[in-house]
Structure 1
């Protein structure tokens, strides 16, 4: 039996040195038959030993490349929707914080209210330990179904919530767990689809969904809540999330090779590698301060700067617009100088800007500041996904290590907002101590990230070249 030329196309596209010819091909080995069992080669349909049927022209090698490009584009769009659902929702919490402080939970302190948002964020990251390993084992569509269902259910239950504990369960726990099922796999999809040069741009494009969500959702909340009420506003949000997760389900085609990877919940060998450990610690401190402006910018503008309510909500959208630029533009710099260098600049810049926030007490100043801090925040949330694979010895641990990195950051997010809230003087609406805490934490984290950046720049034989999987 022989392989027809049409069956050689996948092999040809993988190695440009091979050309189609009309001579008998060698007998298929036992190894080839084993690969066939797992779907790595095309089906064998022509008797072995016979020459392939003549063809008028060689197969077009661009067909396979076009298919790869189409699948890669679908994955970027699918991950865009996932980022909208996960980080877009999380980045919009300041709108809820201001509403809760003034209306639904007015009897509670800002620190207590902020636990709702920080719990959601922390569960999104902590769940990544499990979802990252499940992705490595090939269960991305299962994660999409479970995660999307939890997010939709959480918004529907939030629409009925009246008490603090009900809001915690719906918005903090249910949506948080659902987002965790969605978020880490979306990072791993991009990391293992694109090579080191392409990855920052791909992550920047897909993660821009978070910034778009952070722009659109606060504005929608501001306009819908007074008109149709808190309940129906959240029901509409739930239907939007449902539509996006359905689209992501069809766009994120599973890669069969991931089912053969022995995905880990936790990679203990990572804790023996100083560069990766310092990366974890650095990200922890960066995100300890990261959520301070995202949670408190709206109530700060409304109660401390004394701007009108509408503009206070728009400031959150302005901050997230800056985040959009921070996810896209630095990706081009990372393409040239490496993502680790850009991450260091983002962490240090974020810390400096949060500290500068202490001296801003007018509308023009806080508006410009919102754009700048959003830009730096966009860098710190988008670029780590491109750095983790550079500190991973093999593609099989990328999912687990990504989950580990975001789990530490998630714990920082859990406690950062409430600590800053506890430092706010609600009697005088003085946010200075909370701002100082957030700025110092992020600045320290940015400085710590210098060490893993140097390790990556110098090169380390332990770490293989980043995963460069074909789509």
Structure 2
């Protein structure tokens, strides 16, 4: 539990202190619910949260958003291009390995981008950011360069899976928390703009890789990607800075008491289930297109999905600030699950294009909205740690989801079985998030 303080010094001379404290108490009671046994209302924390002001705009704030967008372009954008690597490795560099084994490389990327967030979230809350960012920016660029030298399966696992994923995770972990220091009323919109970086990167990198490999070869194609990555992480280093004073809150890396709140626990579980199935189509779209005879065009399906995810990442953010991010997140997650069930029946070029576009929009909405969803489930000074706990759970989901789908595909040779697994877990996660919403609001409708 946070260290108790006398509330008077922190808001001295403010005649509105009783109202601010009472409002904070009401908010905490709604948030914790009647069964909360830890982290009871702290007057100092409530007063501090009530007194925090946010620019919600201005040149400096939007430069932070631009830096975060560059960061997601370089990290998640490159990772979202995995589908084109999966297809290329299956037919060329790793043709002796089965699809499930190759999918583990991509899953390690997704997992390790999320995994360091719990450590980086804690370090960020206590004021440590620029040193680990600088080190990881260098190692991330080196890891991309090293992919060009890989020839054996274990080399790809170590470079493109482990080193790349961990380095990206150290940079990405604090990024969303930094944005939350600069935006409050427009936070969902800012997160939506930041998330556009991964859409743009996920569109450009697959096309770039597919087009350049026949012209300059695999090695120089990867080196060209590394040059773009170097620019992006440098821009992020120049612009990303926290604004609020660090606060060394008690409790270590995990605030386990947060999981005693039914709303937070259900929300994390729901996001975990959705993530377990969400990236299966992006991983195997290229393979699915090749199986029905689309040839080289199949690689564009991943780019189409990532391009349309730009709509899903940006547009819902404008409405989420008005009606609540979770209220937008839930229907888009349900749409994702339904689309995944329809995927095996898309057996023509036109139908797969439509599926890729719709799936991209729904996936983009989830990626842009799960962060502002968790941001409101606690105090501002603890946001890095809560974000870290959620993303650590998502790391496990990202690790197991695509390989399970790959194993199902290898066993059954049927995308119907793969879609049944992925669609089921996504819809199950949607139902659990509905439960989280009810646990917080105690009713079926309201802003969340």
Shorter-normalised TM-score: what interval?
0.7 to 0.9
- Whether the 8 Å contact between 2:55 and 2:183 is mirrored in structure 1 is no
- Under a length normalisation based on structure 2, what TM-score does the superposition of the two structures give? 0.84
Partner of 1:284: 272
SS at match of 2:75: helix
Specify which of 192, 206, 215 is matched with residue 218 of structure 1.
Answer: 206
The alpha-carbon distance between structure 1 residues 86 and 456, as it changes in their structure 2 partners (threshold 3 A), is: farther
- Whether the 8 Å contact between 2:113 and 2:172 is mirrored in structure 1 is yes
* 2: CA distance, partners of 1:129 / 1:252: 19
Matched, 1:115 2:104: yes
Partner of 2:220: 232
The alpha-carbon distance between structure 1 residues 400 and 67, as it changes in their structure 2 partners (threshold 3 A), is: closer
* 1: CA distance, partners of 2:393 / 2:107: 13
- Whether the 8 Å contact between 1:80 and 1:205 is mirrored in structure 2 is yes
Partner of 1:198: 186
SS at match of 2:245: helix
Aligned pair count? 396
* 2: CA distance, partners of 1:219 / 1:429: 27
SS at match of 1:258: coil
The alpha-carbon distance between structure 1 residues 307 and 273, as it changes in their structure 2 partners (threshold 3 A), is: same
Specify which of 257, 261, 267 is matched with residue 273 of structure 1.
Answer: 261
Partner of 2:376: 390
The alpha-carbon distance between structure 1 residues 105 and 376, as it changes in their structure 2 partners (threshold 3 A), is: same
Deviations 1:24-74 (A, max 9, x none): xxxxxxxxxxxxxxxxxxxxxxxxxxxxxxxxxxxxxxxx99996111111
Pairwise CA RMSD: 2.4
Deviations 1:395-433 (A, max 9, x none): 12211111111111111110110110111148x853221
Matched, 1:306 2:316: no
Partner of 2:25: none
Partner of 2:144: 155
Q: CA deviation at 1:458?
A: 5.3
- Whether the 8 Å contact between 2:103 and 2:402 is mirrored in structure 1 is yes
* 1: CA distance, partners of 2:120 / 2:189: 24
SS at match of 2:149: coil
Matched, 1:339 2:325: yes
* 1: CA distance, partners of 2:402 / 2:244: 40
After superposition, residues 386-465 of structure 1 pair within 5 angstroms as 386-392=372-378, 394-425=379-410, 429-457=413-441
Partner of 1:23: none
Q: CA deviation at 1:185?
A: 0.7
Between Structure 1 and Structure 2, whose CA radius of gyration is higher?
Answer: 1
* 2: CA distance, partners of 1:277 / 1:141: 31
* 1: CA distance, partners of 2:272 / 2:56: 39
Uncovered stretches (5+) of structure 2, i.e. residues with no partner: 1-13, 16-52
| Runs of 4+, deviation exceeding 6 Å | 64-68
- Whether the 8 Å contact between 2:181 and 2:242 is mirrored in structure 1 is no
Partner of 1:380: 366
* 1: CA distance, partners of 2:232 / 2:64: 13
Deviations 1:88-113 (A, max 9, x none): 11111001000001100011111000
Deviations 1:326-370 (A, max 9, x none): 001111221221101111112111111101112111110010011
After superposition, residues 26-37 of structure 1 pair within 5 angstroms as none
* 1: CA distance, partners of 2:221 / 2:391: 30
After superposition, residues 165-180 of structure 1 pair within 5 angstroms as 165-180=154-169
* 2: CA distance, partners of 1:254 / 1:403: 16
Deviations 1:144-172 (A, max 9, x none): 21221121111111110000000000000
Moved more, 168-177 or 140-149: 140-149
- Whether the 8 Å contact between 1:144 and 1:245 is mirrored in structure 2 is no
- Whether the 8 Å contact between 1:126 and 1:180 is mirrored in structure 2 is yes
* 1: CA distance, partners of 2:398 / 2:343: 19
Deviations 1:206-227 (A, max 9, x none): 1100100000000000111111
* 2: CA distance, partners of 1:246 / 1:453: 39
The alpha-carbon distance between structure 1 residues 263 and 177, as it changes in their structure 2 partners (threshold 3 A), is: farther
- Whether the 8 Å contact between 1:151 and 1:174 is mirrored in structure 2 is yes
Partner of 1:48: none
Specify which of 232, 243, 260 is matched with residue 231 of structure 2.
Answer: 243
- Whether the 8 Å contact between 2:178 and 2:241 is mirrored in structure 1 is no
